[in-house]
Each structure stands twice: as structure tokens, then as C-alpha cells.
């Protein structure tokens, strides 16, 4: 990707070239950093580190007793272990109650959960095995759990940026460079690595992108 006169030239991995008047990048900043020509660098794209997270999606059948598996709510987060992060911990960061948050999508009184693991926790294969995850959840909920109808595990590598001290000032410097020549405000860089890491922050950035374009 490079600015050329009144347009930005974007070359794809298949070597097709496109000329665009304006470009929005939602790539992770370190990835964007590798795509820019050395003659046109942008500051601070590779400054922050990132964490990897494994998510385990579980679907449980309707409870025979009629009692819910978990209380109503969005879910819960687990505080940092007082002993620090090591393989003796469960590795669980928290659990999202998908059936509560997105109940309009469900029928048949199924219970859906998403368990998040990793981040600062070092994970081993046993951390994400079904019996181990179910045992931890049963402890959290204070009751045994039925056998799930479905389990899916996905590892998302370097998916959460770790915004270090001075991030806001660095992003101000990045935006100043984007407004100046040669980009001249025609390239915008947004996403979790630039603004907030929450879904809401990313949605708002997408909504506001291009507001200054004329």
C-alpha cells in the first residue's frame, strides 16, 4: 500500500493493483506495518504486544429439572490469581452466557456458553479438554453439568492488543502523520489496536470512519 499522487495504490496478495481515493485499514497494526513500503512508514504500529485467547463454545440440552444451569446475566470474569499466572491455574478468564445475551436467537431452551481461556495464562492441551472445562464450570455454578450436545474450541492468536502506557499519545502522533503528506488524510487506521479493544469501541470507530473526508 502506498500513496501515489491523488490516489492510494493497493496491491493484493495475488498481485492485483487497485487505485483508491481513500482507504480504511482495520488490520492489526503490526500486520499493516509489514504491508507498507519502507519509504512510507507509519509510527508506532508495532509498539504494542498482544495476547492470544482460546474460546470454548458449549451447547447444553434443556435441564430435566427445569432449573437453569447458570443465573441470568451476561456472564462473569475471574480475577487475577494471587499466586500469579502459571499452568496450575484453570486458565479460564471468564464465561459468557450466550443464551442470556442472545436469547432471541435460541429455541428449545438450550443453554449456550462461551468459555474464554489463555491471555496471560500459559495453556496446555489439558486446559481445554472437555472434562477439565466442565469440571471447572461445575465448580463455578455449584452444581454438576449435563453432557453438552456440542463443543467447539477455537484458538485466536494475538487477537487482543495490550495497550501499553503512552498509547493515546502515540495514536495522536499516528493520526498527525496520516493527516500530513503523503497520505493527506486519505488513509484511516482503526480497530482494537488503535482505539478501544471492546466490540463497542470497534463498532463506533467503523461508524465514524471517513467523517472528515470531503
- Domain ranges, ordered by start, for the chain: 21-48+163-208, 49-161
Name the CATH superfamily housing domain 49-161. Answer: Protoporphyrinogen oxidase, mitochondrial; domain 2 (3.90.660.20)
Q: What pLDDT shows up at residue 90?
A: 94
Q: What pLDDT shows up at residue 109?
A: 80
Q: What is the pLDDT of residues 10-56, one digit of tens each?
A: 998 899 999 999 999 999 999 999 999 888 899 999 999 999 999 99
- Classify domain 21-48+163-208 by CATH architecture: 3-Layer(bba) Sandwich (3.50)
Beta bridge pairs of residue 55: 116, 154
Q: What pLDDT shows up at residue 189?
A: 96
> How large is the average pLDDT for residues 98-108?
71
Dist CA 94 CA 77 (whole Å)? 4
CA angle 22, 23, 25 (to 5 degrees): 160
Which comes out higher in pLDDT, residue 119 or 198? 119
Dist CA 191 CA 94 (whole Å)? 23
Q: What pLDDT shows up at residue 65?
A: 73
Q: What pLDDT shows up at residue 54?
A: 97
Q: Which of 79-93, 104-118, 137-151, 161-175 has the lowest mean pLDDT?
A: 104-118
Dist CA 74 CA 114 (whole Å)? 11
Amino acid at each position: 500500500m502506498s500513496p501515489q499522487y491523488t490516489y492510494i495504490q493497493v496491491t493484493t496478495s495475488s498481485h492485483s493493483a487497485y487505485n483508491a481515493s481513500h482507504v480504511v485499514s482495520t488490520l492489526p497494526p503490526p500486520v499493516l506495518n509489514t504491508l507498507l513500503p519502507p519509504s512510507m512508514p507509519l509510527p508506532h504500529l508495532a509498539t504494542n504486544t498482544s495476547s492470544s485467547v482460546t474460546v470454548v463454545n458449549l451447547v447444553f440440552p434443556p435441564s430435566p429439572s427445569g432449573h437453569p444451569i447458570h443465573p441470568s446475566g451476561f456472564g462473569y470474569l475471574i480475577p487475577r490469581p494471587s499466586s500469579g499466572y502459571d499452568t496450575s491455574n484453570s486458565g479460564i478468564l471468564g464465561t459468557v452466557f450466550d443464551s442470556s445475551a442472545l436469547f432471541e436467537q435460541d429455541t428449545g431452551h438450550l443453554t449456550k456458553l462461551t468459555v474464554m481461556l489463555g491471555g496471560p495464562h500459559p495453556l496446555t492441551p489439558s486446559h481445554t479438554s472437555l472434562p477439565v472445562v466442565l469440571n471447572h464450570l461445575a465448580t463455578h455454578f455449584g452444581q454438576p453439568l449435563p453432557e453438552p450436545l456440542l463443543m467447539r474450541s477455537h484458538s485466536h492468536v494475538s487477537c487482543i492488543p495490550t495497550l501499553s502506557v503512552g498509547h493515546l499519545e502515540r495514536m495522536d502522533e499516528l493520526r498527525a502523520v496520516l493527516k500530513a503528506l503523503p497520505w493527506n488524510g486519505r488513509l484511516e487506521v482503526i480497530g482494537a489496536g488503535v482505539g478501544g479493544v471492546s466490540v463497542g469501541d470497534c463498532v463506533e470507530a467503523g461508524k465514524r470512519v471517513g467523517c472528515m473526508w470531503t
